[in-house]
Amino acid sequence: MANDEIELKQSFSATLENVDRAAEKIQQFLIKTGIKDRSFNIILGMREALINAVTHGNGSDSKKKVTFRLQMEGHNLIMEVEDEGRGFDWNACLMKPLPSREESGRGLAIMKRTFTSIEFNEKGNRLILEKMI
């Protein structure tokens, strides 16, 4: 099977335990696509996106869903994450400097450093991450 035919789609209730399960599936996907050697940073960035969707997007409401899709398109790894929340002002958050002492607020910075591009829909409840492999 060619890399451009490989895709992983999943939807789960908004709990942190389900983020752990999704991360395991993501790791299996990366092994299957032959990019295991670069998986640590990729999984870290993807976990941040999923955790943000669970905690910030859906407010850790297990009745709400998080959906993600991971796909290889040629030499691009693409991940889409969507939650059922009302969204947020992602422009303002992307412009903020990295917090030095707070325990949260580093997720977007990690994603910006890990992925080639990061995009949100206008509402701010859908994220697309891309990485050249």
* 48-98 per-position pLDDT tens digit: 999 999 999 999 999 999 999 999 998 899 999 999 999 988 777 766 665
CA distance 96 to 43: 23
Topology (CATH level 3) of domain 3-132 = Heat Shock Protein 90 (3.30.565)
Is residue 83 within 8 Å of residue 66, measured between CB atoms?
A: yes
- The average confidence (pLDDT) of the chain is 87
Percent helix / strand / coil, the chain, rounded to 5: 40, 25, 30
Question: Between 39-52 and 107-114, two packed helices, what is the crossing angle to 10 degrees?
Answer: 140
The helix/strand/coil state of 18 is: helix
pTM, two decimal places: 0.86
